[in-house]
Structure 1
Amino acid sequence: MSKKYYPDISHYEPVRNWNEVKEKCPFLISKATEGTNYVDSTLKSFIKNCEDRKIPYWLYAYLDKGSELAQAKFLVRTCKKLVGKYFVGYVLDVEAGNEAGNVRDALKYLEGLKYKVMLYHMYADYASYKTVVAGRGKNTAWWEARYGRNDGVYSAKYPCHRGVELHQFTDAGTCPGIGKSLDLNRITGQGKNEEWFMTPSDMKSNTAIAKEVIAGKWSNGIERKRRLEAAGYNYAAIQKIVNKLLE
């Protein structure tokens, strides 16, 4: 994979070419719900295409102000029968002036499930949610939006807060296979890495599996490839790590 893209999308900017997205995007984030009765029109097709193409994906709820816990439960109730083995986790999109205590309750509910979680807010709202951020679980990533010039390109002149793990740096980006005027993100390196964002919590990391491969736990040759892929792992990525560990 050459240049990588980390978009977050919804029905406003659906995937147009899944083969290109598979090549360019290590994982995807898409809108699932808003409030307690709205479901994004692309949700089912998005999940199916990610599962068919083995693309790790996240699903988010845009939180209206008030009843945030009920909204988080609606998100889970809507998605739980649809998601498959490549689903990584749930996201709370907090940008409607939500009360911090309500956001905390919704976050704790999601953290009690078996999936990873992300908490998203705007840069200017950090003071409102810093206690929620500080109290997040170890399997929860901090995602923040700060655009700066908002010309589609990241500029270090407009950094996110220290400790942010995923930084949304524009809503004017471009991604192969999707289009223009997109939200684009970057992994900051201030905590969780790309592999974390790609790996469901009930699956082991590629590095851990590579060590198991070296220890002989996944057979050899074609049979190894079959077993790894059947378990939902990326054979090529794991084999690359195996080769590096054996150098």
Structure 2
Amino acid sequence: MTACPSEFVTLAGRLADAARPVIARYFRSAFSIDDKADNSPVTIADREVEAAMRAIIAAEQPGHGIFGEEHGRANCDAEWVWVLDPIDGTAAFITGMPSFGTLISLFHHGRPVLGVIDQAVLDERWLGVAGRPTTLNGVPARVRPCPDLAHAYAFTTAPELFGPDTRPGWDRVAARVKRTRYGADCYAYAMLASGHVDLVVEAGLKPYDFGALAPVIEGAGGVMTEWSGRPLTIQSDGRVCAAGDARVHGEALKVLGA
């Protein structure tokens, strides 16, 4: 995999820095909430955060593509494409829960090579870059060992987000793990990278939902793939399985495909 240039890593940090004051201004304050076509919520904070990040990318790397949840695609056939989720976990954000995050990823020829999970109000930033160890606020983050599903603490955002074709897979996994937890959005993956969670299984994600997560998980020693076991790309179907221990990941994939 192509190494990610250091100036792009620095740029990712500036994008996260630009998001923070906007998020701080709106978090736990009064603001309007709209529903998108898929009935998911969106706020002025989502839109302002993404607009601020896109402006920086356009000024500093005008040849790069941008794919954002709120403002769409631009130049996405470029070699390098920034994929942005200004507030992953908007429902958590609007209910005052700090389990949301800003997701910033950089894809190279369709593969995620850089990821940032930034939790502005808790001052936590996970940085994953292909070929480098993942860090949390500059300190190495590491997954924990787990021998099998029976010992695993597993997360998904909400069971109802699975469709009729994917819900049975999650139900089989949930029946085999030690504990299931819900509702953390991207923060569950951050906790996996820091060794507090063992497994996250989801479906229906978009590139802006998973692009930043894979480099963070992998750089912390974990595994994150499609349910098929194939590496995640910008074309992936949104069914993802992330685990801190390869043994758990392999067992989960077998159960999901049973």
- After TM superposition, the score normalised by the length of structure 1 is 0.29
